[in-house]
A and B are shown apart, each in its own frame.
Chain A
Amino acid sequence: MDVRSQVSMVFHLDKCIGCHTCSIACKNIWTDRKGAEYMWWNNVETKPGTGYPTKWEDQEIYKGGWEKNGDSVSLKGAGKFKGLKNIFHNPHLPVLDDYYEPWTYKYQDLFTAPEGDDQPTARPVSLVTGEHMDVQAGPNWDDDLGGSPDYARQDYNLNQLSQAEQEAMFQLERMTFFYLPRICNHCLNPACVASCPSGAIYKRGEDGVVLINQERCRAWRMCVTACPYKKSYYNWHTGKSEKCVLCYPRLESGQAPACFHSCVGRIRYLGVLLYDADKIQKIASVPEDQLVDAQMDIYLDPFDPEVIRKAQLNGIADSTIEAAQKSPVYKFVKVWKLALPLHPEFRTLPNLFYVPALLPTMATVSNGIYDSTSKSLWNDVSQNRLPMKYLASLFTAGNTSKIVEVMKRLMAVRLHRRGVTVGDLNRNEISSAMSEAQVDAETADAIFRLTSLATFDERFVIPPAHREESIEMLENTGDVKGNTGFGFKERPARGL
């Protein structure tokens, strides 16, 4: 057992209001630079939809992630032979049009235009060429377009549904959408790290943050192809690739990353998970329907004395182990089993987990007549607006039973709280739902509390970075003691 610590995340999709505050917070801090304008290290997508970059989930187009290869896995779009074959032109790379051409407006024209019969307008100007341009697309062009033929119906996950099921999904009565905020998953088995020919990408030992060394990056852009989530971006100005850094300077000083901190819906949770690095290859190679369960197995119980002992042997600080015990992510993922990884079939073992949106129905259709009453307050989860197959394609690599379990637990919590706060439901109905979902009242209350009432410190349990110790790896602190602090530009007249 090789115990390591990983800063992991949970996004609660039922709480996301799609305001893009996270994206803007990130943009203002990190990507408001020349060459980085089109990068959205954090973006919010409307689902069903095609996302950003468009159709990123379709690996037949972009060749990202891993594919099972016997007892192991190999990269779908990179590696020795494939890398050599595409060394001069990699056709699987997203082009700027797959993202969008970033632009601004010539606001000055509003003030400086000569007087005329028409109002002056601020024309769009490309941030790449500086020329006037027609705005053709944006990073969230499909925002809120839950039924559009160009975006919603092109959703990759609809491939799992039959034609009839797809049509049913887009009936007016069932029309729905939810938001899917995405950042880098800081995977346990990162394809970007594996694909880099320069060895510029690395996974930090102390907290598992995946970073690109800007000095070693040689612009091969293999990471852009390899990352199935398309969260590595190429900066055309600096000639280096960049990606989400999980605001590591903020983490190291005990603050939550900017997108977490600014989240209006408070949907984001951050905490440490301990995992067994010896199991990565084995777990990344299991058959698709077992992927989610296998990934859950890699995360270790931070209360287990054996795990704690092995963690200490690996140099994990006691403060980090303590953070792992308090981790909200551990509760959502391992204890309550409510949060699921996004597209586990890419086999990168992502560390960002999603509590799926419940989206229950409260009406029935019988004999073609829409009836706004239902047998119970909410229909059974199988009647949910989003087909289970669709959610299974997103979160469980097609394992529908897994997603139904999660939905039933979420529904049980909701029924229980309805019983507590309103009390208008049949007691038997609530208790049968809870026993079916294997959730007792105490657990349901705890889930409710962390979902709805959690304080800042409960949502973000950030392990101390112990920078005072890490500096000792670089230099002997005794040598530089007394060498910093105040000094004199000119000697004082009285001398020193």
Chain B
Amino acid sequence: MKTMNKTNTGFQIDIRKCFRQFIMLITGLLLIGKLSLQAQDGEAIFKQNCSVCHKIGGGRLIGPDLAGITSKRSIEWLLKWTKASQALVKSGDAEAKAIFDEYKVIMPDQNLPDAELRAVYAFIDSKSADVATSAESSSTTEVVADASNQATQEQISNGKRLFTGAQGLINGGPACISCHNVNYKGVIPGGLLAKDLTDVYSRLGGDIGLHGIMGAPPFPAMTQSYLNKPITENEIADITAFLNRVDKDKTSQQASMMNPLLYGGSAGIIALLILIYILWSSRKRFTVKREIYNRQIRSI
């Protein structure tokens, strides 16, 4: 027994040593991996969360152009702003107030860990340098700002069909009406899960803003809905044309009082109840001993 014990402890020491080295190796590998991954992460996070409203070089969208922002503001200020812009505005920060007054759109709070935000700033930083070297001359804005104003009637009606789901999206994404409502004649009331889109065209930055939102949805529910089922460029253009028309006509459109789903559903339920009443009219409703029980005197 004793000899066995000895060999055992010797073996344990070996294991402990090996284990420690192994842990160090793994930690080292992880650190290296982390650093090398950071730049790519920043780009991905930017695309996912920021690119809808911001560009790096090429002018403003809903929010300001972010080229060179890292040299203009301190990282600490940027962190505060990104995480809770309104808190910063209300705290009386003059710069923050100036930006908000200029753009008048509340930037959604980005609930991301500091490390990821720093990765995004690093990405903006490196991208700004590229923009500066390419002399800003290319300005390859694919989206023409007022394209939808020249949209044909066909495009608008096509957009309406896509919006209502009369025609499915090519990549299989859900129709807009599942979650959104617009007040427009001939369109049944839509879902209440997400915001009403009647005035979205003017509210969220016109063609460019809508293109950004539909191209890479920034809202969690919408992101999930269109994951791997992107809306194509043509579809975006058509839907945007339709939403533009809806926005223009909004003053002449009334919120539909005749909600066919509500009234039809109610009528259906009443019809069902009548049917149930007829089908089960001869059912047994009470215990056969009801008369006896009703006469009995209870103590409880």
A residues with CB within 8 A of B: 50, 53-55, 61-62, 85, 91-92, 95, 97-98, 132-134, 136-137, 150
Contacts and interface: CB of A to CB of B under 8 A. Distances in A.
A85 to B, nearest CB: 7
A299 B279 CA distance: 41
B35 interface: no
B296 A98 contact: no
Contacts of A53: 288
A61 B284 contact: yes
Contacts of B290: 97
A283 to B, nearest CB: 30
Contact of A54 (B279, B289, B296, B299): B289
A90 to B, nearest CB: 9
Given A95-B287, A98-B288, A134 B299 contact: yes
14 contacts: A53-B288, A54-B288, A54-B289, A61-B288, A85-B279, A97-B287, A97-B289, A97-B290, A98-B287, A133-B300, A134-B298, A134-B300, A136-B289, A136-B296
A443 B298 CA distance: 57
Interface string B277-300: 001100111011111110010111
Contact of B280 (A50, A91, A137): A91
Nearest to B293: A136
Interface residues of B, number: 16
Contacts of B280: 91
Contacts of A137: 289, 292-293
A439 to B, nearest CB: 42
Contact of B293 (A85, A91, A97): A97
A92 B283 contact: yes
A449 B299 CA distance: 54
Most chain-A Cβ atoms within 10 A of its Cβ — which of B283, B289, B292, B293?
Answer: B289
Contact of B292 (A62, A133, A150): A150
Contacts of A54: 288-289
Nearest to A91: B283
Contacts of B288: 50, 53-55, 61, 98
Contacts of A136: 289, 292-293, 296
Given A91-B285, A97-B287, A150-B292, 20 more contacts: A50-B288, A53-B288, A55-B288, A61-B284, A62-B284, A85-B279, A91-B280, A91-B283, A92-B283, A92-B284, A97-B293, A98-B287, A133-B300, A134-B298, A134-B300, A136-B292, A136-B293, A136-B296, A137-B289, A137-B293
A204 B287 CA distance: 35
Nearest to B299: A134
Contacts of B299: 134
Which 4 residue pairs of A and B lie closest in terms of their CB atoms, listed nearest first?
A91-B283, A97-B287, A54-B288, A55-B288
A393 to B, nearest CB: 19
B278 to A, nearest CB: 12
B229 to A, nearest CB: 37
Interface in B241-300: 279-280, 283-285, 287-293, 296, 298-300
Contacts of B293: 97, 136-137
A97 B280 CA distance: 21
A328 to B, nearest CB: 37
A150 B299 CA distance: 22
Contacts of A85: 279
B300 A91 contact: no
A132 B300 contact: yes
A62 B283 CA distance: 9
A280 B299 CA distance: 53
B293 to A, nearest CB: 6
Given A85-B279, A91-B283, A98 B289 contact: yes
A137 to B, nearest CB: 6
Nearest to B285: A91
A137 B285 CA distance: 19
Interface string B215-237: 00000000000000000000000
A55 B290 CA distance: 12
A61 B290 CA distance: 14
Contacts of B291: 150
B289 A134 contact: no
Interface in B75-105: none
A150 B280 CA distance: 28
Contacts of A62: 284
A134 B296 contact: yes
Contacts of B284: 61-62, 91-92
Contacts of B283: 91-92
Contacts of A132: 300
